[in-house]
Structures are given as C-alpha cells and as structure tokens.
C-alpha cells in the first residue's frame, strides 16, 4: 500500500513537470509551423521568465502577479527582437533552414552569457504562488504549486486552441503553417505572422519558466535542459502539432519521474533521451503524426 | 480600340531561378474587363510570368498596375492591391474547413460584416456547391470542388484582376468546362482575368486576346477570332 502511494506521488510530480515540458514543446511547434525553423533559443525564454520575474520581485519589490506579467511581456518582446535581428535578415537573404536554426542556437548562447554577466551565476527561486500546506488525498500530498502548474498549463492550452480556431489572426497563422505562399497570395502578412509566432512562443516559454521555478530553481544555465526536454516533447507529439507536444510533455515528465524512482536520479536524462530514440526508431511521426 | 491605360502592364519582365533565366524580357498588358490567355507548351515560362507579376520570383523589369509601379519581392503588397493569383495546384488550406478558407480569402477586408456577406453571396451564387460544403474539410473535396474553392477564396479577396494558373489541371473535361464557364461569367461582370492554360483551344474560346510563350519569350500575340482550327494554332506553336 505504501508503495502504491509512493508511485502515485511520483506520478503527480511527473505530471507537473510534464505540463511545463509540454508548454515549451508547444513553443517549438508554434515557430516551426510559422517558419519551418526549430528555435533553439526557446530555452533562453524559459530561463528569462524565471530570472526576470525574480529580479522584479526582489529588486523592484513588485507583487508576484505583476512581476510575472511584466516578465512575460518582456520575454515576448525579446522573442520579436530575436526574430527581427537574428532570423529575419537571414530569411530575407534566403539562407538555408540549417543556417537559421544554428543562428537561434547562437542567440541562445548570447542570451545565456549576457544573463550570466548581468545577474551572476547564483541560482534563484521564486516563492510558491499559494503558500499553504499541501492537500492530502489519502497518503498523497498535492502541493498548491502543482495545481498552479497543471491549471495554468491547461488554461494556456485551451486559450491557444481557441486562438487558433476562432480568431482571424490565429487562422491566418495556421494558414501560413499549411501553405505560406498561398497565404501571401491572399495578402496575409506572412512576415508579421512570423514575428507573432516568436512572441507567442517566447511568452509560452516564459510562462513555463515562471510556473516551474518555485518547485526548483532558476539560473542562467537552466535553459538548455528545458529546451531539450521541450524539443523531445515536440518530437514525441509529432512535430508541428501543439496538442501533441503537450501530450508528449506529459509523457516525458511521467517517464522521467518513474526513471528517477526506479533507476536513480542519474538516469533521468537517459530516460528522456531513450524516449526520444524509441520514438525516432519506431514512430518517427510521433503520437499524433507530423503536421506536414 | 485599345484603352489609353491598361490595368496591368509588364515591361521587360524577366525572371530567374538561380542561374536559369525562365522569363526573358516579356512585354504584356491587360486592359480593363479583358480576359487574356497565356498559352504555350510545358516549361515555356507561363507560370513564371504569373509568379513574376506577384513578386514570388527574382525579377527584372517593371510591372505597372493602374499606372503605378508594383513593388518587387513583396507578394503581400501586390496581393493587397487586389491582384490575386490562384496558383497552380490551387494552394487551398487542406486541413481547414471550406468556411475557414473563404474567411482567409477576405483576411484584408476592412469593412464590416455587410461587405463580407456581399462577397460571400457572390461566391455562393457562382459556386452553390461551396455553400453546401461550408463545414467540410477542404482537402477532402474532389479536385473540381477544390478548384472552385480556390477561385471562390480568391473572389473573397475582392480582386481587381484575377490571375489563374492552369485551373483545368487534373480535372475531368466536364468539370473543366464548368469552371471555365464560371470564369466567363466573372469576366462578363467586368473582372479582368489572365488565364494561363496548356489546353489552348479551351482558353481561346474565352479569351479576347492571347499571348503565346515559348522558352521564356512571347513569340506571338494571337487574336482568337483568327484561329479557327487546330492546324492554325499548331502553326503558331511551331512557327
């Protein structure tokens, strides 16, 4: 009996982390769909979400909701800057996809190092959003931050689905993903859609970073591991499928949690990469199949 | 006979893919309410001519629309002026519904709901089948219906001139005739049309004038009334 509740407890924490991986994975999909680019600066947005919120909270003394909101807006703006400064000039010169993907990796490194210079190498954390003792269901404890993560992620996923289905801009972004040339022939501003996809994706990364930081910590170098997990989530879900990426994230979080318990913490990344390999070997189109 | 100012006028228009020059200094024009056919064998540069007008390929020369030079390499800006191309292969958004495809056609519509409904009514009048299929996934329709959707979607953009790249491609003869008939109706309503076709006899039935392209050059301007038989057309092709 004790074993079962232990396993359930592990699964709960795996789901929480999985939601965050899922949000990051959706970020990959949004940019990929708009442009075909795999944006490896995605991890930097996750890191900055936590770091900027921390700075606003501690240095400027802002309340947490305001600090988080400003942080999300700033990171979204940075997403547009990355698009305009790093991706756009290459795009206009008709650089190959490979070059643009490498450029995003370079942007990741630059942002990471600038953060190190400005903020130092000390890890930071954020207070939990609701400071109450965990809810107990039988022998399982569910922390309020877990509820924030799951509730927040599901809300975001729902809002995104509504945005892509119901709004003109959302539909235009989907149209660009399906056939960019045909979209431009109808006068849909494809380049603005690309900038918007970077803003959206960066905001998703920042939200993921803000949600997860109270349960872990954040520092200048947390971006890459998160980006890798989100990338795996996106591949597992079928690259380019936002909902699939979210499912992929949940699955990845669960597998990692189980691996940590049964095989030891050192094998957490082995488990994650094994999931990736299993999918690449046996189901390269992912859970839901690729979008193209 | 010719109006003083054509609605569309290409001067010295050339286009290249990498080092290959696909279009070599083409001069052509379209007058108000005119249906102009562009004919020629496969690889003559017909599609490239339309793509060059839209700024989809690297080009030289100029294109004037209503007397003003069009921007080059900015397809969105060209389309925003009301020059709408129905591309080869139709370019419909397959995973989206028919209704969503039509909505995207009217993406740049500034006016309110009334104007949207006016445009939609015009599309439904022309292609009643689209109205029945509004909620259907566009990619699941037949080729002919997809072509109707592609044209309908272009009409939702309220084109000032409509360019069509091989609308008959892959369609059964009966469907092809039906679609060409709709183009004739649109043209009679005053819409200038440039029709690129490999099947010359069909296009010549509709067109007031035709250009014959070969190896990236215009080799003949044809008056359809003078082409009475296939033999005469063949003479143009092989002259």
- ipTM score here? 0.93
Confidence of residue A235 (pLDDT cuts 50, 70, 90): very high
- Residues on chain A touching B92 (C-beta within 8 angstroms): 179, 182
Domain spans, chain A? 20-282
- Asked if residue B209 is part of any domain, the answer here is yes
Buried b (16+ CB within 10 A) or exposed e, B4-27: eebbbbbeebbbbeeeebbbbebe
A6/B162 Cα distance (integer angstroms): 67
Over residues A138-156, the mean pLDDT reads 92
Of the three residues B141, B158, B175, the one that is the final residue of a domain is: B158
**Cβ neighbours of B85 in A, within 8 Å:** 185
B76 near A CB under 8 A: yes
Instruction: Compute the nearest-CA separation of B154 from chain A (Å).
Output: 7
**Same-domain pairing of B11 and B50:** yes
Among all chains, which residue has been given the structure tokens 């003083």? B4
Q: Any idea what the CATH number is for the domain that residue B33 is in?
A: 3.40.50.300
Strands (E), chain A: 135-137, 140-142
Q: What is the pLDDT of residue A1?
A: 46
Binning pLDDT at 50, 70 and 90, where does residue A84 land? very high
Helix axes A268-282, A242-263, angle to 10 degrees: 130
In a domain, B58, yes or no: yes
Structural domain contains residue B69: yes
Residue B78 and residue B34 share a domain: yes
Q: Tell me the chain B residues in contact with residue A168 when contact means C-beta distances shorter than 8 Å.
A: 103, 107
Query: Which residues in B lie closer than 8 A to residue A188 (C-beta atoms)?
Result: 76, 104, 107-108
Looking at residue B169, what DSSP letter applies? T
Q: Which of A88-97, A170-179, A226-235 shows the lowest per-residue confidence on average (mean pLDDT)?
A: A88-97
Instruction: Give the Å distances, CA to CA, from A133 to A56, A142, B30, B46.
Output: 26, 9, 76, 72
Does the beta carbon of B107 lie under 8 angstroms from any beta carbon of chain A?
Answer: yes
Range of the domain at B144: 93-158
Contact B223, B209 (CB under 8 A): yes
Query: DSSP string of B66-133?
Result: TTEEPPSS-HHHHHHTTEEEE-TT----TTSBHHHHHHHHTTT--S-HHHHHHHHHHHHHH-HHHHHT
Q: Are B76 and B14 found together in one domain? A: yes
Cα distances (Å, whole numbers) of residue A253 to A106, A160, A249, A257, B234: 27, 21, 6, 6, 68
Q: In this structure, is residue B88 part of a structural domain?
A: no
What is the pLDDT, as a whole number, of residue A15? 94
Q: What is the residue-averaged pLDDT of chain A?
A: 91
B104 touches chain A (CB under 8 A): yes
Torsion angle of the four alpha carbons A252, A255, A261, A266, in this order, in degrees rounded to the nearest 10? -60
Collapsed DSSP state (helix, strand, coil) of residue B55: coil
Same domain, B69 and B131: no
User: Distance of CA B29 to CAs B4, B26, B63, B69, B134, Å?
Assistant: 12, 10, 9, 13, 36
Q: According to the model, what pLDDT value does residue B3 have?
A: 52
The residue of chain A nearest to residue B153, with distances taken between CA atoms, is: A186
Residues A38-58: pLDDT tens digits? 999 999 999 999 999 999 999
Confidence of residue A292 (pLDDT cuts 50, 70, 90): very low
Q: What is the pLDDT of residue B1?
A: 47
Per-residue pLDDT, B232:
67
Distance of CA B176 to the CA centre of its chain: 15
CB contact under 8 A, B76 and A182: no
pLDDT single digits (tens) B36-92:
999 988 888 999 999 999 999 988 999 999 999 999 889 999 999 999 999 999 999
Yes or no: say if A231 and A29 are a contact pair by the CB < 8 Å rule.
no
Nearest to B79 among A178, A179, A186 (CB): A186
Please check whether residues B153 and B168 belong to one and the same domain.
no
In this structure, what are the phi and psi dihedrals at residue A137, rounded to the nearest 5 degrees? -115, 105
DSSP state of A39: -
Same domain for B124 and B197, yes or no, is no
Size of interface A-B (CB pairs under 8 A): 62
State mean pLDDT over A215-230. 92
d(C-alpha A241, C-alpha A234), whole Å: 8
Instruction: Say whether pLDDT at A240 is over 90.
Output: no
Q: Are residues B68 and B106 in the same domain?
A: no
B138 and B197 belong to one structural domain: no
Which is nearest to A91 in space by CA: A183, A174, A193? Answer: A193
Q: Is residue A124 predicted with pLDDT exceeding 60?
A: yes
Domain boundary among B106, B124, B158: B158
Q: Chain B window 143-172: which residues touch A at a Cβ cutoff of 8 Å?
A: 153-154, 157
Separation of alpha carbons A204 and A210, rounded Å:
10
Count up the domains in chain B and report the number: 2
Question: Residue B236: which pLDDT band, with cuts at 50, 70 and 90?
Answer: low
Lowest mean pLDDT among A28-32, A55-59, B228-232: B228-232
B169 and B131 belong to one structural domain: no
**Residue B57 maps to a domain:** yes
* pTM over the 0.90 mark: no
Within a domain: B30? yes
Residues B135 and B207 in one domain: no
Helix axes A190-212, A2-35, angle to 10 degrees: 160
Mean residue pLDDT of chain B comes to: 90
Distance CA B102, CA A168 (A): 12
Distance of alpha carbon A178 from alpha carbon A113, whole angstroms: 36
pLDDT at A2: 57
In a domain, B204, yes or no: yes
Rounded percentage of chain A residues whose pLDDT exceeds 70 = 98
Q: What percent of chain B has pLDDT over 90?
A: 70
B15 and B63 together in one domain? yes
pLDDT in tens, A173-201: 999 989 999 999 999 999 999 999 999 99
Same-domain status, B233 and B116: no
Residue B239 has pLDDT above 60, yes or no: no
> In percent, how much of chain A has pLDDT > 90?
70
Q: Bigger pLDDT: A27 or B19?
A: A27
Residue B2 predicted with pLDDT over 60: no
Residue of B71, B107, B139 for testing the chain A interface, max A β-carbons within 10 Å: B107
Nearest to B91 among A171, A185, A190 (CB): A185
In a domain, B87, yes or no: no
């Amino acid at each position: 009996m004790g074993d079962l509740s232990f396993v359930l407890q592990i699964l709960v924490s795996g789901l929480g982390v999985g939601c965050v991986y899922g949000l990051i994975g959706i970020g990959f999909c949004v940019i990929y769909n708009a442009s075909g680019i795999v944006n490896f600066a995605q991890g930097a947005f996750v890191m900055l979400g936590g770091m900027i919120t921390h700075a606003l909270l501690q240095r400027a003394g802002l309340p947490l909701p305001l600090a988080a909101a400003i942080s999300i807006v700033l990171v979204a703006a940075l997403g547009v800057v990355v698009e305009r400064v790093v991706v756009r000039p290459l795009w206009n010169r008709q650089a190959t996809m490979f070059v643009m993907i490498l450029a995003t990796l370079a942007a990741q490194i630059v942002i990471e190092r600038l953060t190190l210079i400005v903020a130092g190498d000390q890890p930071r954390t954020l207070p939990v959003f609701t400071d109450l003792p965990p809810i107990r269901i039988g022998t399982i404890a569910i922390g309020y931050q877990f509820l924030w993560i799951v509730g927040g992620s599901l809300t975001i996923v729902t809002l995104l689905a509504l945005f892509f289905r119901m709004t003109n801009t959302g539909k235009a972004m989907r149209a660009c993903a399906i056939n960019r040339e045909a979209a431009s022939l109808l006068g849909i501003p494809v380049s603005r859609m690309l900038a918007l996809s970077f803003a959206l994706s960066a905001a998703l990364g920042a939200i993921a970073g803000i949600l997860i930081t109270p349960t872990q910590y954040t520092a200048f170098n947390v971006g890459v591991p998160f980006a890798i997990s989100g990338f795996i989530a996106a591949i597992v879900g079928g690259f380019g499928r936002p909902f699939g990426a979210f499912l992929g994230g949940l699955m990845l979080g669960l597998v990692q949690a189980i691996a940590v318990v049964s095989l030891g913490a050192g094998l957490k990344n082995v488990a994650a990469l094994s999931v990736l390999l299993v999918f690449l070997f046996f189901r390269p189109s992912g859970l839901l199949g690729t979008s193209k | 006979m010719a109006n003083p100012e054509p609605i569309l006028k290409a001067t010295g228009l050339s286009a290249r893919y990498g080092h290959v020059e696909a279009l070599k200094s083409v001069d052509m024009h379209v007058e108000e309410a005119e249906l102009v056919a562009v004919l020629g064998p496969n690889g003559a540069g017909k599609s490239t001519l339309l793509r060059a007008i839209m700024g989809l390929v690297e080009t030289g020369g100029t294109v004037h629309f209503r007397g003003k030079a069009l921007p080059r390499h900015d397809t969105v800006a060209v389309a925003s002026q009301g020059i709408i191309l129905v591309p080869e292969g139709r370019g419909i958004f397959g995973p989206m519904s028919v209704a969503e495809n039509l909505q995207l056609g009217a993406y740049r519509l500034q006016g309110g709901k009334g104007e949207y409904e006016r445009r939609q009514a015009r599309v439904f009048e022309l292609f009643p089948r689209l109205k029945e299929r509004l909620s259907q996934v566009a990619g699941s329709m037949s080729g002919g219906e997809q072509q109707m959707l592609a044209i309908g979607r272009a009409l939702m953009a309220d084109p000032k001139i409509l360019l069509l790249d091989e609308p008959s491609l892959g369609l059964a003869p009966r469907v092809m005739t039906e679609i060409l008939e709709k183009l004739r109706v649109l043209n009679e309503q005053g819409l200038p049309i440039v029709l690129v076709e490999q099947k010359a006899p069909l296009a010549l039935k509709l067109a007031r004038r035709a250009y014959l392209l070969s190896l990236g050059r215009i080799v003949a301007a044809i008056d359809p009334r003078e082409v009475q038989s296939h033999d005469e057309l063949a003479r143009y092709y092989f002259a």
